[in-house]
Amino acid sequence: MLRFILSRLLQAIPVIFIVITATFFLVRAAPGGPFDAEKVVLPEVKRALEAQYKLDLPLHEQYFAYLGDLTRGELGPSFKYPGRSVNEILFSGLPVTAELGFYALLIALLIGVTAGVFASLKPNTRQDYIPMSLAMIGICMPSFLLGPLLVLVFGIYLEWLPISGWGAIPGDKILPSITLGAAYAAYVARLSRAGMLEILSQDFIRTARAKGLPEWLVVTKHALRGGLIPVVAFLGPAFAGLLAGSFVVETIFQIPGLGRFYVQAAFNRDYTMILGTTVFLSTLIVLFNLVSDVAAAWLNPRLRSQFSGGKS
């Protein structure tokens, strides 16, 4: 197991390195620069700014200087927000985005697994079609539609819940979490249904039923563990996706998270910010994929025996 993890970690390093290099040169190849503005910038001012941000150096020197800073954990000063470092902005937004992603994932799992398992118990009946159709709608419904709808109903007409902010007013975390979690709940529902159907058709389940175990015990004790492997494998990329993709929800609900900076940085040509967020999120994605692979392997008895035999 340890060797598996180590080899995966080693594979991750060149991946992240390629991401850094490609991003570094791609953002600089894009037309327009961080200091272009609607009102023309005087050439002297532009030179002074470029000197302050070391953009006057040759590109390869900038690249190596950036790699040097990176090894020290320095992501550089933001172009758009003078006086703030990219590190500072990332770490102010990350806890919020992570918390939002965590709740969204929790909601996705609770709704998704329940619906998926429920549907799998009586495949191709109404009990299957209704939750699965709802799940399809959930997948298709974009968060920029669901969010405002929820706001309209629960925030403005019913006045039950706050409609924006994060942690300022009690209850303001509910609507964004549901909005972000809904699409993932739908995926989880479909994955857990598929996983459960496969497991429920296997011999050991028939044995368990033959022993006279009540159905709910067959499901929770025997089937769920194997049936949820596809869901677990999905969780890593899902959580990374939630972190990187919360932009829309953060904008709708005015949440001070990471997603807004990530997207705006590209529009602003905020080179250090684009690089910082990309490097940071790609590292997270690689790590979460690894974690979910390990968890899926641990849940799957066949793979687990390979690891414990140490012959992987």
Partner 1 sequence: MINRACRGLRLQQGLIGLLLGLLLGCGAGESNVASGNRDGILHYGNGAEPQGLDPHVVTGVPENHLIRALFEGLAVKNPVTLEPEPGVAQRWEFSDEGRVITFYLNPEARWSNGEQVTASDYVWSWNRALHPETGNLYAYMLFPVVNAEAYSKGEIKDFSQVGVKALDDTTLEVTLNTPTPYFIQLMDHYSTFAVHPETLLKFGKMTDRFTPWTRVGNIVSNGAFVLTDWALNRHIKMAKSDLYWDRDRVSLNGVVFYPTENVVSEERMFRVEQLHYTQVVPLDKIPIYRELADTPYIQAPYLGTYYYLINTDRPPVDNVKVRQALSMAVDRDKLVRSVLQHTAVPAYSITPPNTLGYYPPQLFSYDPDRARALLAEAGYPNGEGWPGLEIIYNTQEAHRKIAVAIQQMWKSELNIDITIANQEWKVYLNSVSQRDFQVARRGWIGDYVDANNFLDLFITDGGNNNTGYSDPIYDDLILQRAPRAQTREERYALFEQAETMLMEQMPIIPIYTYTSKHLVHPSVEGIYPNLMDSLNLKYVTLDPERALPEVLR
Q: Where are the alpha helices (DSSP H) in the chain?
A: 2-29, 43-52, 59-71, 86-121, 126-140, 143-150, 174-200, 203-210, 215-217, 224-227, 229-244, 247-252, 259-268, 271-299, 301-308
Among 146, 173, 230, 243, binds partner 1 (CB under 8 A): 173
Nearer to partner 1, 190 or 222 (CB): 222
The helix/strand/coil state of 85 is strand
29 is an interface residue for partner 1 by CB under 8 A: no
CA distance 256 to 287: 24
54 is an interface residue for partner 1 by CB under 8 A: no
Q: Which stretch binds partner 1 (CB under 8 A): 55-63, 170-178, 198-206, 298-306?
A: 170-178
Q: Six-digit token pair at 235?
A: 């969780």
Looking at the DSSP assignment, which residues form a beta bridge with residue 85? 77
The one-letter amino acid code at 300 reads N
Q: Which of 284, 233, 266 is nearest to 98 (CA)?
A: 284
7 is an interface residue for partner 1 by CB under 8 A: no
The helix/strand/coil state of 58 is coil
Nearer to partner 1, 77 or 286 (CB): 77
2 is an interface residue for partner 1 by CB under 8 A: no
Q: Which stretch binds partner 1 (CB under 8 A): 17-25, 30-38, 66-74, 286-294?
A: 30-38
Q: Which stretch binds partner 1 (CB under 8 A): 4-12, 103-111, 122-130, 298-306?
A: 103-111
Nearer to partner 1, 12 or 213 (CB): 213
82 is an interface residue for partner 1 by CB under 8 A: yes
Nearer to partner 1, 150 or 186 (CB): 150
Number of residues that bind partner 1 (CB under 8 A): 66
160 is an interface residue for partner 1 by CB under 8 A: yes
Buried b (16+ CB within 10 A) or exposed e, 1-14: eeebeeebeeebee
The one-letter amino acid code at 85 reads S
Q: Six-digit token pair at 297?
A: 């392997």
Among 22, 25, 36, 68, binds partner 1 (CB under 8 A): 36
CA distance 139 to 157: 26
Looking at the DSSP assignment, which residues form a beta bridge with residue 77? 85
Helix (H) or strand (E) holding 289: helix 271-299
Q: Are 138 and 185 in contact (CB under 8 A)?
A: yes
CB atoms within 10 A of CB 280: 20
Binding track over 288-307 against partner 1, x by CB under 8 A: --------------------
Q: Which residue has the tokens 């019913």?
A: 158
Q: Which stretch binds partner 1 (CB under 8 A): 79-87, 192-200, 238-246, 304-312?
A: 79-87
Among 256, 293, 303, 306, binds partner 1 (CB under 8 A): 256
Residues that bind partner 1 (CB under 8 A): 30-33, 36-42, 44-46, 48-49, 51-52, 77, 80-84, 89, 92-93, 103, 106-107, 109-110, 148, 151, 155-156, 159-166, 168-171, 173-174, 177, 216-217, 220-221, 224, 251-254, 256-257, 260, 267-269
